[in-house]
Amino acid sequence: MTAHVRFKQSDVKRAAAGAQDAGLTIAKIEIDPNGKIVIIPGTPKAEGIASEWQDLE
């Protein structure tokens, strides 16, 4: 049995496009387990782009 889809890729694209159209630079996009999309404005941090598992290696 599969879980109900809480968000779609098109939802994330639409939210990101709306933020960019409003003049925001997107630092990060978070999606909670309920499907809530949160856009964090700012400049992306280079160290956050690496693997989140990097500290376990």
What are the sequence ranges of the domains in the chain? 1-46
Strands (E), the chain: 26-31, 37-41
Alpha-carbon gap, residue 57 to 47, rounded angstroms: 15
Q: Give residue-wise pLDDT tens across range 1-44.
A: 677 788 899 999 999 999 999 999 999 999 998 889 999 999 88
Is residue 57's pLDDT more than 60? no
Which residue type sits at 46? A
* Tokens 């994330």 found at: 12
Name the residue among 31, 32, 28 with its Cα closest to residue 45.
28
